[in-house]
Structure 1
Amino acid sequence: MKVVVDRGKCQDHGQCVFAAPEVFRLDDEGHLDYTTDPDDIRRDDVEDAADVCPVQAIRIED
């Protein structure tokens, strides 16, 4: 699984951080940072994060 965030869409709302904190996090400046290739065990959390993203900036590639 590969996680891709469209930086042009992402507005750093951080909803993904609540859904999948093992994959998504906000840096010291409040900008999104994330793991691009998390373990497949995190798939459900990443799918939830993609669903709650208000601007639909997250996608999963297999």
Structure 2
Amino acid sequence: MRINADADRCVGAGQCVLAAPDLFDQDDDGTVTVLTEPGAATKDAAREAVHLCPSGAITLEDG
């Protein structure tokens, strides 16, 4: 599984960080940054972050 985060689409709501703090952070402007790719223990949190993102800036690729 791979995380794609579109910084241009991000609105800085921070829902991804709240849902999966091991996977996401925000830069000084509030834009999403990916810290690491999800492992077995964080796949559900990654999916939750995608679901909660109000702008659709986060997507997942299986594979």
TM-score of the superposed pair, with normalisation by structure 1: 0.82
Question: 2:25, 2:32 within 8 Å by CA — same for their partners in 1?
Answer: yes
Q: How far, CA to CA, are the matches of 1:38 and 1:8 in structure 2?
A: 22
**Residue equivalent to 2:47:** 47
CA distance in structure 2 between the aligned counterparts of 1:3 and 1:40, rounded to whole angstroms:
14
- Give the structure 2 partner of residue 22 of structure 1: 22
2:12 aligned with 1:12: yes
- Contact kept? 1:24, 1:34, Cα under 8 Å: yes
Offset at 1:35?
2.5
Ranges in structure 1 where 5+ consecutive residues have no aligned partner: none
TM-score normalised to structure 2 length: 0.81
- Equivalent pairs counted in the alignment come to 61
CA distance in 2, matches of 1:38, 1:47: 10
Q: For the Cα contact (< 8 Å) 2:5–2:33, is it kept in 1? A: no
